Structure 1
Amino acid sequence: MVFLTRLIVLLAATGLLNGCERQDAPPLDQQLYVWQRQWTPAHEAALQDSRADFSTLRVLALQAFPQAGWSRARIDPALLKGDGRPVIAVVRLDGQLKSLDQHEVTAQIQRVLDDWQGKGLNLSGVEIDHDAGNARLPAYRAFLVHLRSVLPASLPLSITALPSWLDSPELPALLSTVDSSVLQVHAVSDPRSGLFDPSQARKWVKAWSRITSKPFYLALPAYGVALLPGDNGAPLVESEVSLERGGTRRELLADPRQLSQLGRQLRQDPPAHLAGLIWFRLPLANDRRAWSLTTLRAVARGDALDSRLTLELSAKEGLYDISLGNQGNLDTAWPERVTLAVQGCEGADALAGYALQQNPDLLTFTRLRDGRIAAGGQRAIGWARCANIDQGASNVHP
């Protein structure tokens, strides 16, 4: 009996120890890039709806490009102040700049910071986004040392970093000059190969965690682009701003399911020093090449993803408006075909993006081009004036 009691105590103690060892890792911090060059009224709802899930806003503040020079993003300071979340000012220095004039760049940054702080923004850091080639990393490090010496010691300095820097012996010294880094694992190679490779991203993250001794974040895509034919064979990339150019557009979109799986893997087995995830970019209601905020929130939370397309009919005096609704949390492609069982139709037509084939007892809407229905959203595809449409006998074909 004594032996049995001791065995029970031992098993209970072992279970407690194992339970402690199996505790879930704390959730990764989730942040957002706000990358619009000019803010619009749509920012208000996007900020409001993102507040519960994303702790910090990394806001495009200033850009420098060859020939074009300097330009400041036209933010809404009152809206950003009212949001209240910590703000990190992001300064984009194009990788094609021949050199970085330390004093000129620093002066430009200081003017923006003084302006933002004067407007009462909750400024909590500066991020430099400079895609320097490996050969230029020593010069980039010298610039960062200078900038760090000028910025207030209380204001953290971070940099956006490229996976290609892993091949440089200069990387440890470069990382030693800043408080944290943001490893960008999307759109870092030939865009024709896609925006994102999850297996390659995991390799880069593990390699980065072995090199840095400071916190780092992972910049992840929640957007798409279009590739257009260029003059020299290399594709032109169309993102937020439409390009006035002919030719076939090839659409590329980061897959929410892939990103959700990566987030789950990182939460279950977080690499050393990984502090969180930063999503590019805050989606606005009219942003046709970004995930919906509903999908982005679901991926960030680690929710199960599902799109549920439904056929929706709105009838008035025999005139039916025909639309598709997405009741899930995952944006989905327009279906290839929609068939409606009908009776006594006097007329019908498809709306842009679909073509209509009409038979006495069947209307068939066929997709002409690609498009997406946002999670929680709706898309009209046509109309019909009929005596009856049997919704139960109608079908949506993926």
Structure 2
Amino acid sequence: MVFLARLSGLLVMVALLAGCERQDAPPLDQQLYVWQRQWTPAHEAALKDSRADFSTLRVLALQAFPRAGWSRARIDAALLKQDGRPLIAVIRLDGQLKSLDQDEVTTQIRQVLDDWQAQGLILAGVEIDHDAGSARLPAYRKFLTALRAVLPAPMPLSITALPAWLDSPELPTLLSTVDSSVLQVHAVSDPRRGLFDPDQAQKWAKAWSRITSKPFYLALPAYGVALLPQTGGAPLVESEVPVERGGERRELLADPQQLRTLAAELRNDPPAHLAGLIWFRLPLANDRRAWSLTTLGAVARGDTLDSRLTLKLSSQDGLYDVSISNQGNLDSVWPERLTLAVRGCDGADALAGYALQQSPDLLTFTRLRDGRIPAGGQRAIGWARCTHIDQGGSNVHP
């Protein structure tokens, strides 16, 4: 009995210690990339509605490309000041640049940082986004060391990093030059295989945690791309910037359910040194290749995801406008088919993206191409002039 009592007490102590450890583990931070090159009035609502779920904004500030040269993002400094969240300026140095001119790059970065600060923006850090090949990591390390020497002393410096660097013996030394790193685990391989593999992301995160001794973040996708075929080569990728070219586009979209599961696993059992998740990108109301902010917030919080498509009819003098409403928190594809039980119709038609088949007592709208209805949004399907439409006898077929 004494042995059992001691064993019971020991088990209680172990349980209490485990509970304390879980409580002491800091929650994963959640941040957002703001990646639009040209800010619009839509940013105001997007920033406001994202405040509750995302602590920090990593804002595209400056880009350098091999042929196009330097380009500054046209931000709205007043909105960022009003928002008040910690602000990290992201400098994008395209990986196809043959080399990094230390003096030129440093001058460009100092100018944009000075301009931002002159507009009243208080920076919480600088992030360098440079997809260097592994063979160029020694030169990249020297560049970062020199850059750090000219940045204000308290200014944290971080880098975006690639899983391909995991095999490089130069990686530990490179990571020692910065305060933190952001491991990009999406769109890092052939886009034809998809944007994101959650199992692979987990493996990369665990491998990264064994190499770095400093905080790191995972950059996770909340967007989609389109693939345009090219003769004799890899497909052309169209993302947030439209490609001025015709042709059939194959759409790829990161799966919110997959990302929600991964985020929950990382919260429950985070790899060593994992400080948080950074979502790419802040969606605007007209961003057709990003999750809606409703879905992104639900994924970040770990909410149960659900699309609830319902038929909406609005009528005036016998003319019905037919639309679909998504009352859930998960963006939905357009329904494959919509059937309306009707009487006395003397006219009807489908809108772009759907075709109409009509019989005396049934209207059938059939999807012709893919599209999405954002959470909380709706999409017009067509119209009908009828004496009666039985909403209870009508159906939405996902």
The TM-score range, normalised by the shorter chain, is over 0.9
Give the aligned partner of residue 388 of structure 1.
Answer: 388
The question of 1:344 aligning with 2:344 is answered yes
CA-to-partner distance for each residue in 1:293-333, whole Å, 9 max, x for gaps? 00000000011111111011111221111100011100010
SS at match of 1:352: coil
For 2:46 and 2:21, locate their aligned partners in 1 and report how far apart those are by CA, in whole Å: 39
Q: What is aligned with 1:264?
A: 264
- 1:219-275 CA-to-partner distances (Å, cap 9, x unmatched) read 000000000012432111111121121221000000000000000000010000000
**Alpha carbons of structure 1 residues 288 and 360: separation in structure 2 relative to 1, 3 Å:** same
Q: Give, in angstroms, the shift of residue 149 of structure 1.
A: 0.6
Deviates more, 1:224-233 or 1:51-60: 224-233
Superposed displacement of residue 34, structure 1: 0.5
Distance 1:319 1:103, change over 3 A: same
- In 1, distance between residues paired with 2:144 and 2:184? 19
Which runs of no fewer than 5 residues in structure 1 stay unpaired? Answer: none
Aligned pairs for 1:25-174 (under 5 A) are 25-174=25-174
Partners of 1:211 and 1:18 lie apart in 2 by 26
Q: Report SS of the residue matched to 2:267.
A: helix
Match of 1:369 in 2: 369
Aligned to 1:356: 356
Secondary structure of 1:392 counterpart? strand
Mapped to 1, the partners of 2:188 and 2:118 lie a distance apart of 36
Whether 1:311 aligns to 2:337 is: no
Going from structure 1 to structure 2, the CA distance change for 1:7 and 1:257 (only over 3 Å counts) comes to closer
CA shift in 2, pair 1:160/1:4, >3 Å? closer
CA distance in 2, matches of 1:103, 1:18: 52
Cα 1:207–1:342 shift into 2, 3 Å: same
Q: Distance in 2 between matches of 1:167 and 1:13?
A: 42
- Checking the alignment, whether the CA contact within 8 Å between 1:85 and 1:122 is kept in structure 2 is no
CA distance in 2, matches of 1:17, 1:158: 35
How many Å separate the matches in 2 of 1:113 and 1:167?
34
Residue deviations 1:109-137, cap 9 Å, x none?
Answer: 00000010111112110000000001111
| Coordinate RMSD, CA, aligned | 1.8
Q: Secondary structure at the match of 2:329?
A: coil
Q: SS of 1:160's equivalent?
A: strand
Distance 1:8 1:76 in 2: 61
Change (3 A) 1:3 1:246: closer
Shift of the 17–244 alpha-carbon distance from structure 1 to 2, 3 Å rule, reads: closer
How far has the Cα of 1:6 moved from its partner? 8.2
Q: Which residue of 1 aligns with 2:220?
A: 220
Q: How far apart, in 1, do the equivalents of 2:291 and 2:32 lie?
A: 13
Taking a change above 3 Å as real, the CA distance of residues 154 and 359 of structure 1, as seen in their structure-2 partners, is: same
- The TM-score, its normalising length taken from structure 2, stands at 0.96
Aligned pairs (5 A) from 1:180-195: 180-195=180-195
**Equivalents in 2 of 1:214, 1:250: separation in Å?**
39
SS at match of 1:206: helix
Aligned residue-pair number? 398
Q: Structure 1 pair 25/353, CA: closer, same or farther in 2 (3 Å)?
A: farther
Distance 1:187 1:8, change over 3 A: closer
Identity within the alignment, %: 83
What per-residue deviation string (whole Å, max 9, x for no partner) do you get for residues 49-73 of structure 1? Answer: 0011111110000000112111101
